[in-house]
């Protein structure tokens, strides 16, 4: 299954939803869409607006690929479960977010070269990237050193007083 | 000081909430409660107080009173937040009326630029963590980088 998610942000993400809907008949995998506050109603795939986080995590764990805005929650969870993730950042100029910080996130991850993350900045590249991503099985890196360090630092702080 | 402490975890829905859940292990052995916005994505969580999203000044004042009542009841020793703006009122209330210690983790979405929330709480926060090294210079000497979640 391919799980498409646009998160909890109050602005819609019509560009991604329209494109996924348009190309979905040509994609071999079943597609499930979380459309959030977007107005566009998918015609060719199953969809919902919001579910509790635990349920979203279930969908995510069943997925062969997750397609998402460059939202932190999805990036973290895909990293944790080792699920390939295709990022398509929201843009300020299309009123998809207040700033272009998602482009910055995508660029910084691209530079770092995470093996499990695919990045697309324009809609017309989506189909090709999706086919590339579902056709590849990457070896997943496990563990999250950053998370361990953060937990240790916070724990130590709590113990100091 | 050794022993069990009361810790309030405060964050909005979405990535902020996921970041908070990722770090829950840091609070093991302590009693915790959560304050977040009432959204579908945050429902069904344990020990959680829900605030309505602040859409008006009246809503904001109601939220502030609600936080005050929660703090009277819970008597937190420490507050921890992963953002966003929901953190600002409880941090100031906690610091000046309840003498809580404050821990703030800047969201990993902030790669090069400080968030408005981060700038609001930086002066009063006791442990201020960022998830990208670029931000250390932007904030100042109190900011710490030990790694990021993404």
Chain B contact probe: residue of A58, A81, A150 with most B CBs at under 10 A: A150
User: Do A150 and B27 make contact, defined as CB atoms within 8 angstroms?
Assistant: no
- Tell me whether residues A146 and B27 touch, CB distance under 8 A: no
What's the pLDDT tens digit per position in B9-56? 999 998 999 999 999 999 999 999 999 999 888 887 889 999 988 878
**pLDDT for res A138:** 60
pTM, two decimal places: 0.91
Q: Are B93 and B66 in contact (CB under 8 A)?
A: no
Is the sign of the CA dihedral A152, A156, A158, B2 positive or negative?
Answer: positive
DSSP 8-state class, residue A11: S
Given this model, what pLDDT does residue B102 score? 98
- ipTM of predicted assembly, 2 dp: 0.94
pLDDT of residue B148: 96
Question: What does the pLDDT read at residue B2?
Answer: 65
Q: For helices B57-74 and B88-97, give the axis angle rounded to 10 degrees.
A: 40
pLDDT attached to residue B44: 78
pLDDT score for A132: 92
From chain B residues 46-65, the ones with a CB under 8 A of any chain A CB are: none
Asked if the model's pLDDT at residue B96 lies above 80, the reply is yes
pLDDT at A142: 64
Alpha helix stretches (DSSP H) within chain B: 15-22, 57-74, 88-97, 116-121, 134-139
Residue among A8, A104, A145 minimizing CB distance to B41 = A8
B17 touches chain A (CB under 8 A): yes
Asked if A65 and B50 touch (Cβ cutoff 8 Å), the reply is no
In sequence order, the 6+-apart residues with CB closer than 8 A to the CB of B132 are A108, B108, B110, B111, B112, B145, B148
Per-residue pLDDT, A139: 59
pLDDT along chain A (161 residues), means of 10: 95 97 96 97 97 93 96 93 95 95 95 92 96 77 86 96 77
């Amino acid at each position: 299954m391919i799980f498409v998610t646009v998160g909890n942000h109050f602005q819609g993400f019509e560009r991604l939803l329209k494109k996924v809907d348009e190309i979905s008949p040509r994609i071999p995998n079943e597609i499930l869409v979380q459309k959030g506050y977007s107005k566009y109603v998918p015609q060719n795939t199953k969809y919902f607006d919001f579910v509790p986080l635990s349920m979203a995590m279930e969908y995510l764990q069943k997925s062969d690929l997750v397609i998402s805005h460059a939202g932190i929650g999805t990036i973290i969870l895909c990293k944790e479960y080792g699920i390939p993730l295709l990022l398509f950042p929201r843009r300020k100029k299309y009123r998809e977010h207040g700033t272009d910080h998602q482009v910055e996130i995508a660029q910084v991850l691209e530079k770092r070269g995470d093996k499990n993350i695919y990045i697309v900045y324009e809609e017309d590249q989506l189909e090709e990237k999706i086919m590339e991503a579902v056709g590849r099985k990457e070896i997943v890196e496990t563990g999250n050193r950053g998370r361990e360090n953060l937990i240790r630092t916070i724990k130590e702080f709590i113990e100091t007083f | 000081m050794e022993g069990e402490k009361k810790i309030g975890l405060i964050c909005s829905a979405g990535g902020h909430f996921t970041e908070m859940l990722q770090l829950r292990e840091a609070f093991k052995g302590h009693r915790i409660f959560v304050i977040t916005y009432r959204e579908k994505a945050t429902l069904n969580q344990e020990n959680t107080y829900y605030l309505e999203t602040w859409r008006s000044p009246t809503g904001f004042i109601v939220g502030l009173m609600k936080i005050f009542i929660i703090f009277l009841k819970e008597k937190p020793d420490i507050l921890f937040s992963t953002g966003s703006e929901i953190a600002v009122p409880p941090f100031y209330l906690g610091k000046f009326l309840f003498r809580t210690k404050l821990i703030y983790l800047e969201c990993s979405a902030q790669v090069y630029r400080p968030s408005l929330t981060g700038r609001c709480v930086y002066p009063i926060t006791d442990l201020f963590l960022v998830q990208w090294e670029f931000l250390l210079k932007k904030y100042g000497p109190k900011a710490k980088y030990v790694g990021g979640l993404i």
